[in-house]
Amino acid sequence: MDRTCVKNNRNKTKSGENGEKRDGTFHLQNPHLERMDEDVLYHLGLNTTSHNFVEMFGDVKFVCMGGTANRMETFAYYLLDVLGLKLPTGTTLIDISRNSHRYSMYKVGPVLSISHGMGVPSIGILLHEIMKLLKYAKVKDPVLFRIGTCGGIGVEGGTIVISEDAVDGLGSSYFQVPVLGKIVRRPAVFDKELIEELKDCVDPKDSYKTVTGITLCADDFYEGQGRLDGAFCDYTEAEKMEYLHKLKDQGVVNFEMEALVFAALTHHAGIRAADVCVACLDRLKGDQVNTPKDVLYEWQKRPQKLVASYIKKQLEKCMLSGTNL
């Protein structure tokens, strides 16, 4: 486990140290964008010629992402309720990205709720396009959340896990991607202040725990997470358990499949971000996700409740102080 990197990044974490400018706007480090007459955000089904990004998205302050379209639509309706917003009678929210047939995107006041699919490449593509969308819309200081599910490691099913750091399957806290035939390494860093702010929003009356720790971002659900129940498996149960216990001793509390690129690309742009997942199971107790569907569905709402309560708190703070977010 590349703990040195984890430690170094932890100390350096300060939003804005990379791409963020003092006035809250953030900088995408790509000189080519300025020279383009039009930008087609292909996977979002939007482009800068046909769509007025400032009008459509200029008031966005929070972007929430999760794997499935169903979850993100449910979250959008939940937000309407939490924020006390009402749709005109007889109307529904529309999927802004429906023409892309890739991701689904809903807008509720200053919040975008978007599905990202499974794994690093899928959320990576979305992050490129969402960060450009925010840039073209002239959004200042956006905050990004992933509201997901995960496999706990020594963490009971139903527990919320907020990622403090992200590592890959080899223990490195860098997102590594081949670019022009060479590996580019970007540190995966979550905003520590945001984690504390989220912890402050935990409802003490919750019947479940909320914990923090290191997240292992795997490139696979089965062998990549040490499961015995994939189509292939070349290791024994004893080897699997030794691996899981070693991870636990190193402070790894959960497996999921997006944290590394999520932390790295947002940090690279100077955008604050947090990964909040509910554990579907404790991997020290098994591999199969066999909790009844209705229970899993209720658990899935737990990260949504925490993030919605954070958003509500931030909006109330601004109303009280008469400032813009």
Ligand X SMILES: O=c1cc[nH]c(=O)[nH]1
* Residue 258 partner contact from ligand R1P, ligand X, none using kind-dependent CB cut-offs of 5 to 8 Å: ligand R1P
Residue 117's SS3 state is: coil
Binding to ligand R1P by residue 148, rule CB under 6 A? yes
CB-closest chain residue to ligand R1P:
67
146 assigned binding-site residue: yes
Place of tokens 């060479």: 182
Q: State the minimum distance, in angstroms, from the CB of residue 225 to ligand R1P.
A: 9
Q: Binder to ligand R1P among 40, 58, 177, 221 (CB under 6 A)?
A: 221
Report the distance separating Cα 81 and Cα 315, nearest Å: 14
Residue/partner pairs of 224-228 with CB below 8 Å, 24 or more apart? 224/169, 225/151, 225/255, 225/283, 226/283, 227/287, 228/287
Q: Which stretch binds ligand R1P (CB under 6 A): 46-54, 163-171, 236-244, 255-263?
A: 255-263
CB 60 within 8 A of CB 142: yes
Kindly report the number of other CB atoms within 10 A of residue 246's CB atom.
Answer: 11
Place of tokens 């971000």: 273
Residue 91's SS3 state is: coil
Of the pair 258, 282, the CB lying nearest ligand R1P is at: 258
The distance of Cα 72 from the centroid of its chain, to the nearest Å, equals 12
Place of tokens 């404790």: 282
Q: State the minimum distance, in angstroms, from the CB of residue 149 to ligand R1P.
A: 3
Dihedral angle sign, alpha carbons of residues 25, 80, 46, 267: positive
Of the pair 149, 163, the CB lying nearest ligand X is at: 149
272 assigned binding-site residue: no
71 assigned binding-site residue: no
Of the pair 115, 172, the CB lying nearest ligand R1P is at: 115
185 assigned binding-site residue: no
102 assigned binding-site residue: yes
* Residue 151 partner contact from ligand R1P, ligand X, none using kind-dependent CB cut-offs of 5 to 8 Å: ligand X
Q: Which residues belong to the annotated binding site? A: 102, 146-149, 225, 227
Binding residues for ligand R1P (CB under 6 A): 66-68, 118-119, 148-149, 221, 256-258
